[in-house]
Structure 1
Amino acid sequence: MPTTAPARQRKTSSSARRDDEAPLIPILARKVREVEAKAQRNKLGPTNRVKFQVIAFLVREERARVKADPELTDAARAELLKRLDGVATILAKTAARDTSLIQLLEADHATSPVAQRMRRDWLLESGAELPPEELVISDAKPVVVPPMVPQVATERAVVPPQIESRIAANPFLAPDLSRVPAPTPRRRLDGWELMGPLYKAFEMGAGGGAATMPLPPVPEFDRVSPKGLEVMVHQARFLEAVRAGHRSFLLADEPGLGKTAESVLAASVANAYPLVVVVPNVVKMNWAREVERWTPQRRATVINGDGNDVDAFADVFIVNYEILDRHIGWLGAIGLRGMVVDEAHFIKNLSSQRSQNVLALAQRVRETTPGGRPLLMALTGTPLINDVEDFDAIWRFLGWTNGEKPGPELMEKLDGTGLTPADKAFYPEARDAVISMGIVRRRKKDVASDLPDKLIADMPVQLDDEFGRGIREAERQLAERLAARYRRIVEARGDRGLQPGEIDDDIVRLVAQGELDESKAAGAEGDNVFAMVRRIGQAKAGLAADYAAQLQRSVGKVVFFAKHIDVMDQAEALFAANGIRAVSIRGDQTSTARQEAIDAFVNDPAVGIAVCSLTAAGVGVNLQVASNVVLAELSWTAAEQTQAIDRVHRIGQDEPVTAWRIIAAHTIDAKIAELIDQKQGLAARALDGEATDEAASESVQLAALMHLTREALGGE
């Protein structure tokens, strides 16, 4: 058993004395909070699962050491055991949230090289003296990831009759003789846990420059655009990278810079046909139009339902996430050579069915493409929502990692740095290595200098009527309920050395998370934060619509965004009463009705306002005929807000864009707006290399509830 406590020194502080007696405990306490925070956001990836495992086994070892240490007084021993019980309690709550963690506590599960290295590093950090056999750990065996075939895809599979005809016309795909398994070389970093450091490399991205791989210069001649169209400089450089042979991309350009056109032309340059494009349902028709516009020599078909009207001999198959599971089988059998995933942040939740479907099909595409190098493109202007680990599913889709470790190509780049995660210089080098795999991120202000400015202006409104007073009272009661829970927990646990007036942030987070879980279960019903925000939206609806109507009379066309249907209904009624023609873009429309509404707003001068669903119309819609946006309700994410505004602020816009956020003063609405603005810093730091203040990693909902709790406790 290694010694986990170094020689003690005299200290005057009681907390310092306790840490000297058991220096490993503060490390375990810090690590277990990291795991707990990830579990609360359903972000328990492979790294944090191993971390959970190692914490559990070290708690067991440390408890045995503390009990057997003859130099400890009974009081000191009791205090240390109490602190270890606190760590164990958090582990238990985390395991209750994700019961699959329980199997990690079996004895043979703590012997993986990654777990052994993590345990060694923490013990060394605590000052422990380890025997030589524990300092040197043998290399990890290569991770073998079994093929992922979602069960639901098998159960719901369909094969349209037309597809049967296509397969019958060419029953055998051309044999691929180039796929000779190559021996995996042994690399210097094989024994290191690398996924956590890769995420950290982006989290520390300030000063690293924009996340864009080196791109070739602009070609002398435009060889890709059809007659009458012309690609922009940034698009041409991207297409030259495709022409040079690069085949996997995270195209993370800001919304409005023409990612759809770039993808369509990239498929043409790479001859990546047949091509499948996986998109949100609301943009299927738009994608078909873009294929026809930029590559008129190619045929696109939109897959609906069971695919009974699909064109089996098309070059481009466009399918939405919701029905992909029905079509994975036959799509994987027709010899696809390219795959595009639009709004790729939709797959960030690896436990979701749509994420599993996309990854399963991508794996099949890699298996059947000659040479194993299909064109794979993930498109999203907002790849990071709350956490850098939002990259995980996208990197897996592109084949850069398998979730457990980097793929061979990325591993070779990392190995070539000559550094390890123990070196501070490793992180900028690792970030550059991942970027060189195919991340392309351009900002409007950098590549479209002629694109007008964008301004977000907050418009506070007073909710002075009885409805408004009721909302403020409900908010006060919610805050008091949260504060009461906090006080009960503190009383039950004891003050643990808190100074008068000091607030324990861990307990605040625990209280807020409990309330958030209950609120999610109840939805918009009852007395919770979601119901409150919805009521605020209802109370603002008339004021926001009235402002939009005034704006329309003075500036022309206006785009009005709301989150809830009843808010949209109120706005449309007010516009009609004021003689303003409006169209509606909602999630429950057919693709045809939706496109007719968009065309009417764009082409008919008599249509003054487009009333849009914040979620359904926030992607794949081009409304740059307007330059003013009214956000009647706030989103819970910065990405959703950005996507909505950029329906207007995009290529083709020739006027400055202003987004007017209607905010209910003296309510939680104002705090939500502030938190959304803070979240904008995540992408700026990780992708754009800007030095920004690090916002808290919790969601806006959780942060808002923590704010209410602190406010009720009298501390901010």
Structure 2
Amino acid sequence: MAQRSSRRSGAPGTASRDRRRSRPRDEGGLLPVLAEEVRRVEAAANRGRVGARGRTAYQVVALLVREERARAKADPALSTAARAAIMTRLDGIATILAKTAARDTSLLTLLADDAEVSPAARSLRNDMLSAAGRSPEPEEEPEPPADPAPQARRVVPQTVIARQLANPFLAPDFSAVPPPRPRTNRLGDWELLTPLFRAFESGGDATCMPLPEPDEVLPGVPGLDPGTPLMHHQAQVVAAAAEGHRTFLLADEPGLGKTAQALLCAEAADAFPLLVAVPNVVKANWAHEAGLWTPRRTPTVIHGDGETVDGFADIVIINYEILDRHVGWLGTHGFRGMVVDEAHFIKNKSSQRSRNVLELSERIRARHPNPLLMALTGTPLINDVEDFRAIWQLLGWIDDRKPRNALMATLEETGLTPAEPGFAAAARRSVIDLGIVRRRKVDVASDIPARRIADLPVELDDEAGRSIRAAEQALAHRLVARYRAAIAARKDPTAVEGIDHDLVRRVATSEREGAGSDKAGDNVFTVMRRIGQAKAGLAADYCAQLARSAGKVVFFAKHIDVMDAAEQTFAARGIGYASIRGDQTPKARAASLEAFLTDPHIEVMVCSLTAAGVGLNLQVASNVVLAELSWTSAEQTQAIDRVHRIGQTEPVTAWRMIAARTIDARVAQLIDDKAGLAARALDGSDEEVVPSADVQLEALVTLLTEALEADPTPEVG
């Protein structure tokens, strides 16, 4: 809490009037300073852009308003009237803050409990206190970084121990040539990180490092099938890795295949074993993509304490939330490469997540001087240019205080200092050339289909996921019991060898037709609904990321409770949304549609598959999230066509959320098989569409068949 200073003298009689009103000694100084600052930020937002200084001021004003409110409430020297007057003025400032955030919703991230207060913010805070006649607060000594996890929480899976025993002499690899040291030291006494960040704030023409033109057959990628439809922009990055480039900030817009590029870069660079750190929502998808793009390599996914991890795998995939348990053995595993997906998740360097990732990248570099390091994100900047700090440190371009050798060498070669006008452009170019790659859909539209569906498997590892799998197992057991009861009722139960597939279909048909009246447990419809509820938060999180990075997004769901859960997530993230539901009046529906089409602050349209699947033009968006599966390809196609229609100027990507290791994945495959996978991938054709009842029936047939294959022996007694 800042100390109070004595009030400056004013006109005769002022002091006595102040004493009679019991005003705090510095209230007259600070509140006008806050009001002036917040008006500046508001004016910037009205002009369309709040710069770095304005964002810092916004955060500082908000923090000081909170402190002043708490101070006024707790100050026993204040009269009731004086306290009410201060609260009124603080409410006025808070109202301006709220209106400003409504214009630029990204400001809301600065108010989060875990939002980092930068050195610039602390400096500005002290400046405001000084301007108000208060003594600035002393700088706090930074706390030493905590151990990423208590030692008791660290685990080493058994298969990892087996790998260590199989290769106990794993030694550091110093075969690669380390980055060159600068030949001069003109910039040795300069503070360079702030000018480097500011060079990106001012903008510039260059947004992407020079990339080579790929050959017909990419060198160094022997595992890539010659028929694999690798796009030109993807092949360029892989070719750069094949030529020896080893650090990339791959910031392509969503839908341009960053996962495929990263895996193929690892193949080109022979960067195995490869560590992949990802959000939980995309963990299963990485394993799926690894099987598609690097079929010669074995992926393994770490869950929980890693009981099922394959310690001999080529690609180790782990989500941020459990890194603390595994950071010990991961750091000594001998990785030759590391990929960090959705790298903006580590922007807060004080967070546990960021510390774990940075520790691992440092330890990998210590064992291998030139590893493949890739940060993937469609949103490299969330708050301001300093969001680059953790990502650049991950890639080894900077450390806590200064540029590392490779970047310092290129800065020295410019012959400029931060005091000279050309330094910003030269510094920006120097950093970009280290490996920043940024392409937009519109720039590579000729390389990608006009419309595609991308499946995004998600893991349901929580209690809801376990409950869903238990319900599926109970449904399968019920089907098996009916099947075996029918077999036992036959005069000759052995008349059919193996599985009687005709009987399987009859049992499945009976289950489907009686699903609504069976009270014995979950049926196929209730299981699918529970899966949709469990996916709701993950799908909404992914939708929020798309909205931040790629603009407006359309979110489709079948059930109202899934839509409700998604809207709660968007509200918590500060994402503006509108809704199209079946119970809306035509006026409310029209208002929601108008808001989404014309209001830049409405970033997501939350739609019911049945209510919004037809009759809407939503082509202001180019991304669709399908949170729940439809029973028909036609219904899914209709939903996507709300965006992919005449007037659309960008390629459209529909992200279909699939709950891995559940019946959800079976249903998705059945829809694809019936509709024709090739047609769907190329142009969204809905030929060969089948009735929904057929997909429901086939899902039950598959479930029963798999259960019988797993345990073909009838129960005794």
Match of 1:420 among 417, 420, 423: 417
Alpha-carbon spacing, 1:399–1:596, altered in 2? closer, same or farther (3 Å): farther
Name the aligned partner's letter for residue 159 of structure 1.
V
Secondary structure, aligned partner of 2:266: helix
Name the aligned partner's letter for residue 156 of structure 2.
V
Tell me the distance in 2 between the aligned counterparts of 1:334 and 1:436: 30
Contact 2:407 2:431 in 1 (8 A): yes
Pair 1:395-2:441 in alignment: no
Name the aligned partner's letter for residue 257 of structure 1.
L
Post-superposition CA distance 1:391-413 (Å, at most 9, x none):
11111110111242211211111
Match of 2:610 among 549, 553, 570: 549
> What aligned pairs does 1:101-116 form with structure 2 within 5 A after superposition?
101-103=139-141
> What aligned pairs does 1:41-80 form with structure 2 within 5 A after superposition?
41=110, 42-45=115-118, 51=123
Tell me the distance in 2 between the aligned counterparts of 1:531 and 1:265: 37
Tell me the distance in 1 between the aligned counterparts of 2:575 and 2:445: 37
Pair 1:219-2:215 in alignment: yes
Secondary structure, aligned partner of 2:317: strand
Post-superposition CA distance 1:633-665 (Å, at most 9, x none):
xxxxxxxxxxxxxxxxxxx56479xxxxxxxxx
Pair 1:320-2:312 in alignment: no
Tell me the distance in 1 between the aligned counterparts of 2:150 and 2:245: 31
Tell me the distance in 1 between the aligned counterparts of 2:636 and 2:246: 53
Match of 2:168 in 1: 171
Runs of 4+ in 1 over 6 A off after TM superposition: 28-34, 179-185, 531-541, 544-547, 554-560, 578-588, 623-626
Post-superposition CA distance 1:294-334 (Å, at most 9, x none):
22211111111111111111111111111111111111222
Alpha-carbon spacing, 1:234–1:535, altered in 2? closer, same or farther (3 Å): closer
> What aligned pairs does 1:150-169 form with structure 2 within 5 A after superposition?
150-152=147-149, 154-169=151-166
Alpha-carbon spacing, 1:177–1:289, altered in 2? closer, same or farther (3 Å): closer
Name the aligned partner's letter for residue 281 of structure 1.
N
Q: CA deviation at 1:228?
A: 3.2
Q: CA deviation at 1:432?
A: 0.5
Identity %: 44
Task: State which drifts further: 392-401 or 411-420.
Answer: 411-420
Name the aligned partner's letter for residue 418 of structure 2.
P
Name the aligned partner's letter for residue 449 of structure 1.
S
Tell me the distance in 2 between the aligned counterparts of 1:281 and 1:594: 18
Name the aligned partner's letter for residue 323 of structure 1.
I
Contact 2:158 2:307 in 1 (8 A): yes
Q: CA deviation at 1:161?
A: 0.9
Secondary structure, aligned partner of 2:399: coil
Contact 2:582 2:608 in 1 (8 A): no
Contact 1:355 1:393 in 2 (8 A): yes
Pair 1:373-2:346 in alignment: no
Alpha-carbon spacing, 1:284–1:388, altered in 2? closer, same or farther (3 Å): same
Alpha-carbon spacing, 1:209–1:33, altered in 2? closer, same or farther (3 Å): closer
Tell me the distance in 2 between the aligned counterparts of 1:394 and 1:180: 20
Task: State which drifts further: 325-334 or 581-590.
Answer: 581-590
Alpha-carbon spacing, 1:420–1:182, altered in 2? closer, same or farther (3 Å): closer
Name the aligned partner's letter for residue 195 of structure 1.
L
Pair 1:435-2:424 in alignment: no
Name the aligned partner's letter for residue 102 of structure 1.
E
Tell me the distance in 2 between the aligned counterparts of 1:340 and 1:379: 7
> What aligned pairs does 1:76-155 form with structure 2 within 5 A after superposition?
84-86=130-132, 88=134, 92=137, 101-103=139-141, 150-152=147-149, 154-155=151-152
Alpha-carbon spacing, 1:227–1:220, altered in 2? closer, same or farther (3 Å): closer
Secondary structure, aligned partner of 1:285: helix
Q: CA deviation at 1:430?
A: 0.9
Tell me the distance in 2 between the aligned counterparts of 1:586 and 1:394: 29
Q: CA deviation at 1:598?
A: 5.0
Match of 1:637 in 2: none
Match of 2:46 in 1: none
Tell me the distance in 2 between the aligned counterparts of 1:579 and 1:173: 51
Secondary structure, aligned partner of 1:301: strand
Alpha-carbon spacing, 1:424–1:171, altered in 2? closer, same or farther (3 Å): same
Post-superposition CA distance 1:412-457 (Å, at most 9, x none):
1112212222222111111111101101111222223254679xxx
Name the aligned partner's letter for residue 86 of structure 1.
A
Match of 2:16 in 1: none
CA RMSD of aligned residues (A): 4.9
Unaligned runs of 5+ in 2: 1-32, 41-51, 64-109, 452-564, 590-605, 641-653, 686-717
Post-superposition CA distance 1:92-111 (Å, at most 9, x none):
5xx8xxxxx4348xxxxxxx
Match of 1:633 in 2: none
Tell me the distance in 1 between the aligned counterparts of 2:335 and 2:665: 29
Q: CA deviation at 1:154?
A: 3.4
> What aligned pairs does 1:577-588 form with structure 2 within 5 A after superposition?
none
Secondary structure, aligned partner of 1:410: helix
Q: CA deviation at 1:171?
A: 1.1
Match of 1:255 in 2: 254
Name the aligned partner's letter for residue 319 of structure 2.
N
Match of 2:291 in 1: 292
Unaligned runs of 5+ in 1: 1-24, 60-81, 96-100, 105-144, 455-523, 563-567, 607-622, 627-651, 657-716
Alpha-carbon spacing, 1:247–1:542, altered in 2? closer, same or farther (3 Å): farther
Match of 1:199 in 2: 197
Q: CA deviation at 1:388?
A: 1.8
Aligned residues: 432
Alpha-carbon spacing, 1:579–1:365, altered in 2? closer, same or farther (3 Å): closer
Tell me the distance in 2 between the aligned counterparts of 1:250 and 1:532: 25
Name the aligned partner's letter for residue 294 of structure 2.
T
Alpha-carbon spacing, 1:375–1:33, altered in 2? closer, same or farther (3 Å): closer
Match of 2:481 in 1: none
Contact 1:46 1:403 in 2 (8 A): no
Match of 1:363 in 2: 362
Name the aligned partner's letter for residue 117 of structure 2.
L
Larger RCO, structures 1/2 (Cα 8 Å, 6+ apart): 1
Match of 1:517 in 2: none
Q: CA deviation at 1:349?
A: 1.7
Secondary structure, aligned partner of 1:151: coil
Tell me the distance in 2 between the aligned counterparts of 1:274 and 1:154: 25
Contact 1:410 1:433 in 2 (8 A): yes
Alpha-carbon spacing, 1:269–1:202, altered in 2? closer, same or farther (3 Å): same
Tell me the distance in 1 between the aligned counterparts of 2:258 and 2:215: 19
Contact 2:613 2:639 in 1 (8 A): no
